[in-house]
């Protein structure tokens, strides 16, 4: 039998190039090799956006359609919405009973987000406890692997600790998942920070040509390159970082022309914008075809929920028996 993989996305906004190169390309590869569970983490979205849910349904639909347009195949993978499987929440409740508060307080993302999202009140039970819900997502399907970046390893280790603690009290049952380290590229946003919808520095997959070009032209390059023929420093240039992704066969040439002052920033940015736009052509065509079938979205989530619940319900029934709650 194939090993099982689980990963998900929060529907808190539109998908952008950071998502595409960060995890979506990896998901395409995974579905060819593993039994994959890909879920829309709408409960997780509430941990930070509980006060404004007016776009939650639209973002969820948009995300599923984008996944399909990129190439995720519901015949090869289980694609489902977290809230369509209430058994996950029940399992999270049981796991929360045995998870020490100190484990949650040491979560690096909790501390980081408290600083980054100062305009939101996220010191809530739901937010500090989201790692338990995350553990339920993973443990409920007995995932063998979870694709993560190195910065996310502490999150996965917390899931492993929760599984070990459960097994210690109630007997071996929950599988400790392993990390599948992502080969994801860091995609810089327009301001040089990691591309993120939270930072308003992203190029979105559904941006039109004019918008993409406008955003690329705003990208920060080398502040010391004032005149066109001034030598540049590609090692600190965000545009050059994106060329590593979109112009891998011309990176050396671009670097040489930049350092010599032969390549101006405006010309460089225009060339990058063309590459980004061209790379999204197939995605756009597929998305048009998918949106022309209004029933496809509902069919995919309905079918995915049935498949996911079959596995997760069995897990929950066993957990209840082991905890003497059946």
Identify the residue whose tokens are 């399907």: 141
The pTM (predicted TM-score) of the whole model is 0.91
**249 and 167 together in one domain:** no
**182 and 299 together in one domain:** yes
194 part of a folded domain? no
Residue range(s) defining the domain that contains residue 181: 4-187+294-322
**37 and 87 together in one domain:** yes
DSSP assignment of 70-136 equals HT--TTTEEEEEGGG-THHHHHHHHHHTTS-HHHHHT-HHHHHHHHHTTTS---SHHHHTHHHHHHH
In the chain, the percentage of residues whose pLDDT exceeds 90 is: 76
**98 and 220 together in one domain:** no
Tens of pLDDT, residue by residue over 195-232, are 988 788 999 999 999 999 999 999 988 888 878 788 88
**243 and 302 together in one domain:** no
197 part of a folded domain? no
Domains of the chain: total:
2
**114 and 163 together in one domain:** yes
**310 and 246 together in one domain:** no
29 part of a folded domain? yes
**301 and 275 together in one domain:** no
Alpha helix stretches (DSSP H) within the chain: 17-19, 25-33, 42-49, 56-70, 87-96, 101-105, 108-116, 125-128, 130-140, 153-170, 209-217, 238-246, 251-260, 265-279, 281-291, 296-322
Tens of pLDDT, residue by residue over 127-153, are 889 999 999 999 999 999 999 877 788
**91 and 144 together in one domain:** yes
Q: Which residue has better confidence, 73 or 226?
A: 73
287 part of a folded domain? no
Q: What is the mean pLDDT of the chain?
A: 92
In order of 125, 188, 265, the CA distances from 2 in angstroms are 37, 35, 48
CATH of the domain at 37: 3.40.50.620
**298 and 274 together in one domain:** no
130 part of a folded domain? yes
Q: Which stretch of 2-11, 37-46, 103-112, 284-293 has the lowest confidence by average pLDDT?
A: 103-112
């Amino acid at each position: 039998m194939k090993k099982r993989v689980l990963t998900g996305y929060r529907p808190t906004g539109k998908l952008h190039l950071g998502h595409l190169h960060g995890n979506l390309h990896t998901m395409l590869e995974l579905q060819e090799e593993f039994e994959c569970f890909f879920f829309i983490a709408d409960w997780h979205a509430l941990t930070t956006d509980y006060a404004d849910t007016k776009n939650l349904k639209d973002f969820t639909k948009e995300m599923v359609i984008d996944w399909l347009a990129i190439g995720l195949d519901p015949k090869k993978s289980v694609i489902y919405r977290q809230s369509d499987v209430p058994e996950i929440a029940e399992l999270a409740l049981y796991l929360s009973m045995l998870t020490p508060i100190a484990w949650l307080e040491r979560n690096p993302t909790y501390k980081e987000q408290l600083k980054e999202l100062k305009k939101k009140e996220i010191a809530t039970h739901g937010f500090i406890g989201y790692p338990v819900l995350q553990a339920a997502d993973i443990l409920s399907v007995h995932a063998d692997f979870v694709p993560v970046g190195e910065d996310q390893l502490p999150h996965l280790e917390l899931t492993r600790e929760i599984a070990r603690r459960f097994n210690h009290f109630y007997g071996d049952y929950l599988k400790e998942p392993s990390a599948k380290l992502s080969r994801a590229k860091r995609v810089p946003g327009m301001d040089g920070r990691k591309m993120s919808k939270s930072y308003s520095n992203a190029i979105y997959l559904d941006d039109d040509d004019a918008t993409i070009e406008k955003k690329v032209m705003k990208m920060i390059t080398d502040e010391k390159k004032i005149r066109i023929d001034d030598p540049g420093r590609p090692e600190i240039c965000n545009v050059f970082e994106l060329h590593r992704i979109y112009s891998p066969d011309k990176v050396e040439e671009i670097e040489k022309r930049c350092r010599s002052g032969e390549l101006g920033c405006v010309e460089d940015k225009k060339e990058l914008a063309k590459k980004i736009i061209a790379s999204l052509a197939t995605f756009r065509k597929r998305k048009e075809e998918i949106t022309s079938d209004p029933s496809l979205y509902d069919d995919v989530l309905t079918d995915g929920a049935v498949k996911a619940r079959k596995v997760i319900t069995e897990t929950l029934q066993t957990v209840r028996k082991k905890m003497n709650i059946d």
